Each structure stands twice: as structure tokens, then as C-alpha cells.
Amino acid sequence: MVSAQKSGLKRQLSIPNTEHHSSTTDSKQARIKDQLFSSEEGSGMRAPVVRFGVHPLSKYSLACPQFSEPRELVSFSYDSNRKACMDNRELKYYYPPQLNPPPSLFCGFEKQIKRDHTRNEHIDGLLSALTHIRQQNEDRSVLLRETQADFVMYRGMLTRIFVTPYSLRDAWSMNATKVGSTIYIEDNITSENVAGRLGSSEDHQKMMYGGYRFETLCVIDTPPAELSPEDLNLKLQTRADEVVNTNLEYCSVFRTRLGGHSVISGAEVDCIEGVKPSSFPSRQYRELKTVKLLDSERAQSSFERFKLLKFWAQSFIAGIPTVTVGFRDDSGVLRGIQDFKTQDIPRMVKNKPRMWKPNVCMNFADKLLHFIKSHVVEEGPEMQYRIEYDPESQEIRILSLGQCEPFLTAEYMSVMAA
């Protein structure tokens, strides 16, 4: 049992949106960074750093480790006020976008309702979903089987790990805490991250908006088969003028296994084809993505090398079989769409120069999760670790941060202790 008193420290739920940060915060972050990226382990550091080298990639060129098809445990929605609701109200249904005339993905940019990115949500939604399962089921054997795993994290963290061998320039940072036999991992969101997002150029913000706009143009709120032709036409007209609200989201919480590691994860689901079935709904889920038109061999190669890698990893991890990609021009006009089958994506890049291999991604993730298990060992929600990838050394390093404000919710810890 885990004592509910472990969650007594107050969690920091928001990140200040300021250009100036306190000297205390800066100095603390500087100390952590210096510890993590010190060239000599133990040289003036308060805590040891352990290292996991990415290279050589050849050591991961093995047969793929076991990977279990993701099985959905529960789903939930974020409403227009960014409140997590344990229902399917935000589940959307796929219906191809109308391309005659081709729509602008930048239309309505000024009217969009933006999610507040100064608020750090940690893994609250994922924990709320697991809490919901426990509150709805009194069978302890089912609870242990459904809600306990070696790792609990959002899909985004697992995707970062998967693609690291081929995304060597992309730094990342995560926080981890161990309670019982489970390691919980969250994104390490700093005030600098938030300031960079809020201060990005208008062009970049339009690119981000275009992705949301594309999703809006690809979905309706009712299964198409249940609509009359007149009602369907009305839905299609309505979605063309719909104001984008980035607070809205539908999430699937699922359980899978990679090698010897059981994982509970959560992922945003863009839409589903047809009515949601009672088992393995992920087989009908669909990812929606946008990219710039591939107008050169270099653009095509970059798309296959980087974009398709992330598309594959995201969809593979969540068991989503289809990725629909919208291709836009420089003005944001949607010029075409193409479906990619997740299982076929690796074959598209096989044997091409400077491309990626799925078995390398999977074996790398398997080995790194084992490494994390071996070094994130001190238990308690206030005991935290930093896991970071440094592009300069091309190493993942783990540092104990000691006692910190817990990122696990008091409600979740209370239910776990019951």
C-alpha cells in the first residue's frame, strides 16, 4: 500500500508566462543542467549521473522485441474549458475533407480559441482516468491487472524515446517518479519552453493552427452512417465554418507491452471510422496530419526520413492503423490528402539511404526502459529523477533530483492507498 501522506506537498500547476524569471529559479535550473551535463561524473556534483549512450546503432539491429497490441482501458474527453470528463463527448468521426474548392487551413486563425499553455497539466488527465477505473471497479484482481504497470506515461514520451536514434539533434527532458513498482514519467516543461511557444512567429503559429483546422475539416460529431443525406450535408457545411478550439480533445488510455515492460499510456485520438466498438477501438482510430507539399526530391526524402518516422511511431505505439496526411501549399491551401497504412510505412523507407529501421527504434526503447528501471529506484512521489537526452554527447542521462513537488495528484494517491 502507498501512504496518501506521500502526496502532501503542494503541486505547481502553472508556469508563469513572463520574460523574466527569478534568480532562484534560474540558479536551480542551472545547477541541475550543470549536474546533468558535467563532463566528468562525480566532479563537484551533488548526485551521480548515469549515462546511456545511443551509439552504435548496430547494437539495436536485432529482431524486434515483443510488442503487444495496445488494448484500450478507458477513454475520456477534454471539454471547451479544458476539463477532463470521463466520457466520449469529444469523440469525432472521420469524413474526408471537401477539396472542391480547396479550403484554406489558415482560415479563421484570428478567431481560434487557444488552450492555455501556461498551465502545466502534468499527467493529470491520465491519472484521472486510472482513478476513474479504480472507482468504478471493486474487483481487486481486475484493478491490479488493469491499472498497474511498470511505466505510466503519455504516448508523446514513448514516441520521443522510439525516435531518438534517428532524431539525434532533438533534445528532450522528462521527469520520473517511482511509487510501488510503477515508474511515472512526464514531460519536463519549463518556463522557457512555454515562453518559446507563446513567443513563436505568426507564421509558425499559423502552421500549428493549420493542423487543428485540418482536423476540423476531416471530422463530424456523428457517425456518417447514422445521418440522412440532408443532415450529412448540414454537418459538412457547419464544420467548414467552425471555430477551432484547441482545448477540445479526445484521449484513449491503453495498455501494452514492449519486451519485458508493461506500459499504460494515453494518447490523443483525432477521430474514428464508424461506430466505436466495445473492444480494440484503436483498430478504427485514425491519425490526421498536415505537411507542406513535397515539391522536390529533397522534400520527399526529408518527409520519409523524419515525418514518416514520427507518424509511424505515434500510430504504432497506440495501435492506430491509418494516418491521413493533408498536403498544403505555402499559402495554407489544402491541395490533397493521402492515406498511409501504419504497418506499410517501414516498407516505404526500407533500403533507402539514411533512413530509419523500426527494429532499431523498438530495441532502443526496450533497452532504455530497462536502463530507467535500473536507475529510477528510490520510491515516493516526492522523490524525482530527471531523464534527459543531450544532442551534443548523444547520451541519455539520469539524475536524482531528490525531494521535489510531486506531479502525481492527491486524488490518485488517495485512491491508490485505499
Q: Look at the chain and count its residues.
A: 418
C-alpha cell at 67: 510488442
Each of the 418 residues of the chain gets a pLDDT tens digit; together they read 444 433 334 454 444 333 333 334 344 444 444 334 333 333 344 568 999 999 999 999 999 999 999 999 999 999 999 999 999 999 999 999 999 999 999 999 999 999 998 999 999 999 999 999 988 887 777 776 788 999 999 999 999 999 999 999 999 999 999 999 999 999 999 888 888 888 889 999 999 999 999 999 999 999 999 999 999 999 999 999 999 999 999 999 999 999 999 999 999 999 999 999 999 999 999 999 999 999 999 999 999 999 999 999 999 999 999 999 999 999 999 999 999 999 999 999 999 999 999 999 999 999 999 999 999 999 999 999 999 999 999 999 999 999 999 999 999 999 888 7
Residues 6+ apart with CB under 8 A from 3: 417
Burial class (CB in 10 A: 0-12, 13-18, 19+), 244: buried
User: Distance (Å, rounded) from C-alpha 263 to C-alpha 151?
Assistant: 5
Task: Find out whether 410 and 69 touch, Cβ atoms under 8 Å.
Answer: no
